[in-house]
Structure 1
Amino acid sequence: MADFVQALSSPSAWVGVLSLTLLELVLGIDNVVFITLLASRLPAAQQALARTVGLALAVVTRVALLSGIAWLTRLQEPLLTVLGQGLSVRDLILIGGGLFLMVKSVRELSRMAADPLGTGEASAGQVSLLSVILQIPLIDVVFSLDSVITAIGISGNVPVMVTAVVLAMVVMVAASGPISRYLDAHPPLKLLAAAFLLLVGTNLVAEAFEVGVPSAYLYFTMLFAGVVMLFTVRAARTVRAQAVSQALEAAQQDQSERQSG
């Protein structure tokens, strides 16, 4: 413990902590979206618990990854060849995680298309609390694999990396609640979030074959689509309010005409 504290005692170490924390937060956007959508299938009283416990377990998995630095470097060595492409353990993890995300996203999109407001039978059969808690750290391994390898390349200081991971997860826990409530209040944005995860899953599989799109492009695309969706939701709300106001005015005018007649 003393060595851990000593490693964080210099200003350069805290600059590294800040830099890596920001990196984890930027690369963890898709993770927060997945957790939010996954937890939304639970009863409202269990959603916060699932997010908190799931992310706490995710911290454990990330710290374990950081502790196995030598093992992580071996993950990038080719293990087998498929269609002339050498695949490492990292690539296989990306393929498996990407396919899992794609399946989950398609199922979520189908459910939302059948019941956009989440009030009918399509929202029945919700997942269990335990399955959600277990899925969060498992998929976090896929999401965090590249960011952990990048963090090792940038810093290489385990105490700095562990501190950055813990701080980033604290921010994610705090942000997941407001994000979940906002998505619940705006179902079209939840549909967009599921489409974003489908895009991320497809890109993970593509990355395994070295044809993936840089994450910055994906985030910018979805940010632009999200802004457009926000304006669309706002415009639809305004149109709906105007229609209700006009209907009330017409009804009042009709009633006054009947009384005067």
Structure 2
Amino acid sequence: MDILTLLADPAAWLALLTLVALEIVLGIDNLVFIAIISNKLPADQQARARRIGLALALIMRIALLLLIGWLVTLRTPLFDLGITGAPGAHGEPTFETAFSGRDLILLSGGLFLLWKATKEIHHAMDDEGASGEMLDKDTSIVRIGFTAAIIQIIALDLVFSIDSILTAVGMTDEIPLMVAAVVITVTIMLFAADPLARFIENNPTIVMLALAFLVMIGLVLIADGFGFHVPKGYIYVAMGFSVMVEVLNMRRRNRRTQHKSG
């Protein structure tokens, strides 16, 4: 279908809006990770790291769309350990060990997220920092190098990009629609990145909550790699509820502070 025909088709516009909404939801994880990593850089490098990270995410997603034929083959099993879990409620196994390229990527990304989030939680609880990383004496924030931050962002960009594009492929066959959805989504994320990073940096309890989200997302990626699919709706409802509770706690603390100062 050519571009003009797509523009004249209401179904195409509906598909585009659906894809944008889906990409935004799937991009929240990526955006939170970029915000946390970029906040560990010196202040004059943070915005540049976020823009580079999101630009790389856009490039990766478009490149994967152009390689859509190869990307779909990532669902083909590469090997099978021959182990299956106990039958579920509908008779299907609760997990599987026939691993595809996508499964291995999700497992690697999940393990990386678990390692990274656990390490950041440890730093948040221990002001002494770790070897090879610089500790900001004024803020007790472990600083990392710009190159190290970009490498970590690229690694997770790849995992989230593959998951995002494979999900989009299941909704439409029109590459132009998927490219448009990706461009719109990353543009929205560019505008949201700086406010989100500032909000996380200015609220230490939000940092811990965001790290807990990354642990949960890492576990979900690992479960997905083993064939146990956790509906994303449950994940984001839980995240949204947690954020609302934390916002109420923040308002309560601010009111207490105002009363004490008054």
TM-score interval (norm. to shorter): 0.7 to 0.9
Measure how far apart 1:100 and its partner are: 0.4
Please tell me whether the aligned partners of residues 54 and 132 of structure 1 are also in contact (alpha carbons under 8 angstroms). no
Counterparts of 1:134 and 1:200, CA distance in 2: 20
Counterparts of 2:55 and 2:2, CA distance in 1: 21
Measure how far apart 1:179 and its partner are: 0.5
2:113 to 101, 108, 116: 101
Counterparts of 1:224 and 1:159, CA distance in 2: 35
More displaced, 49-58 or 140-149? 140-149
Counterparts of 1:114 and 1:238, CA distance in 2: 29
CA RMSD, aligned part only?
A: 2.0
Q: 1:236-260 CA distances to partner (integer Å, 9 max, x unpaired)? A: 2222332343xxxxxxxxxxxxxxx
Q: Give matches, 1:118-129, under 5 Å.
A: 122-124=140-142, 126-129=143-146
Partner of 2:67: 68
Counterparts of 1:132 and 1:211, CA distance in 2: 31
Please tell me whether the aligned partners of residues 117 and 212 of structure 2 are also in contact (alpha carbons under 8 angstroms). yes
Counterparts of 2:101 and 2:259, CA distance in 1: 57
Partner of 2:126: 114
More displaced, 234-243 or 37-46? 234-243
Please tell me whether the aligned partners of residues 75 and 88 of structure 1 are also in contact (alpha carbons under 8 angstroms). yes
Measure how far apart 1:204 and its partner are: 0.4
Counterparts of 2:31 and 2:206, CA distance in 1: 14
- State the AA in 1 paired with 2:225: A
Counterparts of 1:65 and 1:243, CA distance in 2: 55
Q: Percent identity?
A: 39
Please tell me whether the aligned partners of residues 42 and 129 of structure 1 are also in contact (alpha carbons under 8 angstroms). yes
Measure how far apart 1:131 and its partner are: 2.4
2:160 to 137, 140, 143: 143
Counterparts of 2:161 and 2:173, CA distance in 1: 16
Q: Which has the larger radius of gyration?
A: 1
Counterparts of 2:43 and 2:123, CA distance in 1: 18
User: Tell me, which stretches of 5 or more residues in structure 2 are unaligned?
Assistant: 84-96, 128-135
More displaced, 184-193 or 12-21? 12-21
Partner of 2:98: 86
Instruction: Please report the TM-score for the alignment, with normalisation by the length of structure 1.
Output: 0.85
Please tell me whether the aligned partners of residues 55 and 137 of structure 1 are also in contact (alpha carbons under 8 angstroms). no
Counterparts of 2:41 and 2:240, CA distance in 1: 27
Please tell me whether the aligned partners of residues 78 and 98 of structure 2 are also in contact (alpha carbons under 8 angstroms). yes
Measure how far apart 1:32 and its partner are: 0.7
Q: 1:15-58 CA distances to partner (integer Å, 9 max, x unpaired)? A: 32222111100111111111100100011111111111111111
Partner of 1:28: 27
Partner of 2:17: 18
2:178 to 148, 158, 161: 161
Instruction: Please report the TM-score for the alignment, with normalisation by the length of structure 2.
Output: 0.85
Measure how far apart 1:120 and its partner are: 5.0
- State the AA in 1 paired with 2:115: V
Measure how far apart 1:151 and its partner are: 1.2
Measure how far apart 1:109 and its partner are: 0.9
- State the AA in 1 paired with 2:114: M
User: Tell me, which stretches of 5 or more residues in structure 1 are unaligned?
Assistant: 246-261
Counterparts of 1:186 and 1:7, CA distance in 2: 48
Q: 1:14 to 1:240 in 2, by over 3 A?
A: same
- State the AA in 2 paired with 1:239: R
Please tell me whether the aligned partners of residues 91 and 208 of structure 1 are also in contact (alpha carbons under 8 angstroms). yes
Partner of 1:236: 253
Q: 1:4 to 1:193 in 2, by over 3 A?
A: farther
Counterparts of 1:212 and 1:197, CA distance in 2: 17
Larger fraction in helix = 1
Measure how far apart 1:226 and its partner are: 1.0
Counterparts of 1:217 and 1:74, CA distance in 2: 28
SS state at 1:161 partner: helix
